[in-house]
Structure 1
């Protein structure tokens, strides 16, 4: 038998200590084990009956239940079981523009919130594929490496905010460089960059980097987040961002740059002025030769904790019924005296 969490068995050491303290505390009253339960849960108080000669009986059912419960927590395993794994030869990297222009409200509720919603929905539908998260403004930051920990990725994605990044502006060149570095050390046959941005770029020099993407067969799915008309940008407190002249800053949606990135890498461009499912677009792209997904069965140790947990629950119920008998409660009225 193999235990996945053997350290949890140390909890058994507390059982003798609990019993010792309980009996020591009640040595004068010779209280039975049931009083421990009644002291905590009785609203009216307990009449502890002294037993001069009769010793308190050990709660064998409670002890047995506790032992089995801790064994179940340690996750015992034996035998073999087959687990079906879903493996893909493609990895995804989500690149999210978190510049302040993404706070514009020409897309409801904001450009950034729409991008997060699309990316979160895509990640939630993955099964076995690895995905990473890259946030970029003037610089690019790896928020999560390639992994299948989808819950963690969604949590990180939800918390991203422009206020968490020191540099303003947008630099596609820094984002593309970071994506190339991530994919260059990747052993998977195919890689796809999913870019969510409003298309504004303040750096330049990113066009030359697309040749390397095509050489490495990295397709880009460009998703334009914005509307054709310009929009002002609001602070979290509701005030407008202004330039050095005090005029409200207007951000202009620029789909041309995103279309160029997608076209240069053999990818696809989609404008997210209306909600759509990224997974549907990706499925159409990965039908090309070279993209595969296979199921593999792997033998592993079989989990057997239920063999101990079920008896532990039954014994706990029996202990409740037989080792915690009901005692007659007595109300004590303030100001009253006992009559002899």
Structure 2
């Protein structure tokens, strides 16, 4: 399949017709000035070496070279192959709580958006690490399998919302087990589960799941988002209410979060309106064991070399062509009328 790796350079081709129009305009102005001095036949007899077609040919050569240079910069590619590369990094599985309580605004703009901002910033700073993405509420759902495609990770991350699930609740145990399944079989490489939640576990079994992944050599980092004071959950119809018509109050359960991180042999960090949690977490990830990770990428075959040779040929032709008649080239009778 033929395509361009950097098609934005092709916009420069808009300048080609503009340069043609400019050349026509300047040529027309030159002819008008020449006519003031006399007829073109008389002027040509006074300057026998002048050529009309040589300047036009040189302009066409340079313009063609310019256009082909722009095409070359756009990197035409055709054909593809799979390339396996080894990179040194770790594996990180992000699990985001998307229960309704994550809409609370005790951190700005709300708990979920604050968590997404933290994950997005961490992904931007990754280089060779592999990352997976999942969400959970009453159940856990995978969003992106483990990959080094950070652009896709950010696309999936931006699409996360509380509307993605119909089963409400907070099943942290299911989230931990799903994150554990996302890792590869690579040995001697650090593997971290980053769980972002407000800690209101409604299903149970979370501590047992954390202990299980710790036995397998994973580290569970729990990031608690929100405040312990408690706040209401906003909805388009007003604060969320229980079956008795009373506003639902959600609080960050730090005790649960700390217990989970301890069981998972990791650490607990509190997400507030600063970047402290992100900085501390990044420091801990940097300390984990980095090992070569095999990653398969699609490599496209570059085709700019042939265009480069044509550009070089055009420039050589332009270099050896003079605007006035040349006795050596004149022997070829290229521009002479028969």
Q: TM-score, normalised by structure 2?
A: 0.65
Whole-angstrom distance in 1 between the partners of 2:142 and 2:309: 45
Alignment-derived partner of residue 272 in structure 1: 271
Q: Which has the larger radius of gyration?
A: 2
Q: 1 or 2, which has the higher helix percentage? A: 2
Alignment-derived partner of residue 110 in structure 1: 110
Q: Which string of whole-angstrom CA distances, capped at 9 and with x for unpartnered residues, describes residues 192-223 of structure 1?
A: 00111000111112222223212101111111
Alignment-derived partner of residue 257 in structure 2: 258
Alignment-derived partner of residue 134 in structure 1: 134
Are positions 1:154 and 2:117 aligned together? no
Whole-angstrom distance in 1 between the partners of 2:67 and 2:278: 49
Whole-angstrom distance in 1 between the partners of 2:140 and 2:262: 22
Whole-angstrom distance in 2 between the partners of 1:36 and 1:259: 68
Alignment-derived partner of residue 167 in structure 1: 167
Are positions 1:224 and 2:242 aligned together? no
SS at match of 1:257: helix
- Specify every segment of 5 or more residues in structure 2 that has no aligned partner in the other structure, as ranges: 5-15, 26-55, 80-84, 316-338
Deviation at 1:245, TM superposition (A): 2.0
Change in 2 beyond 3 A, CA 1:280/1:228: closer
Change in 2 beyond 3 A, CA 1:35/1:202: closer
Whole-angstrom distance in 2 between the partners of 1:85 and 1:62: 44
Deviation at 1:257, TM superposition (A): 1.5
SS at match of 1:186: coil
Whole-angstrom distance in 2 between the partners of 1:214 and 1:308: 56
From 287, 290, 293, give the equivalent of 1:292: 290
**Is contact 2:214-2:220 (8 Å) kept?**
no
Q: TM-score, normalised by structure 1?
A: 0.64
Alignment-derived partner of residue 87 in structure 1: 88
Deviation at 1:174, TM superposition (A): 1.5
Change in 2 beyond 3 A, CA 1:101/1:149: same
Change in 2 beyond 3 A, CA 1:245/1:76: closer
**Is contact 2:77-2:301 (8 Å) kept?**
no
**Is contact 1:222-1:269 (8 Å) kept?**
yes
Change in 2 beyond 3 A, CA 1:157/1:310: farther
Whole-angstrom distance in 2 between the partners of 1:252 and 1:277: 18
Whole-angstrom distance in 2 between the partners of 1:287 and 1:34: 57
**Is contact 1:69-1:312 (8 Å) kept?**
no
Deviation at 1:154, TM superposition (A): 1.8
- CA root-mean-square deviation: 4.3
SS at match of 2:182: helix
**Is contact 1:108-1:114 (8 Å) kept?**
yes
Change in 2 beyond 3 A, CA 1:63/1:142: same
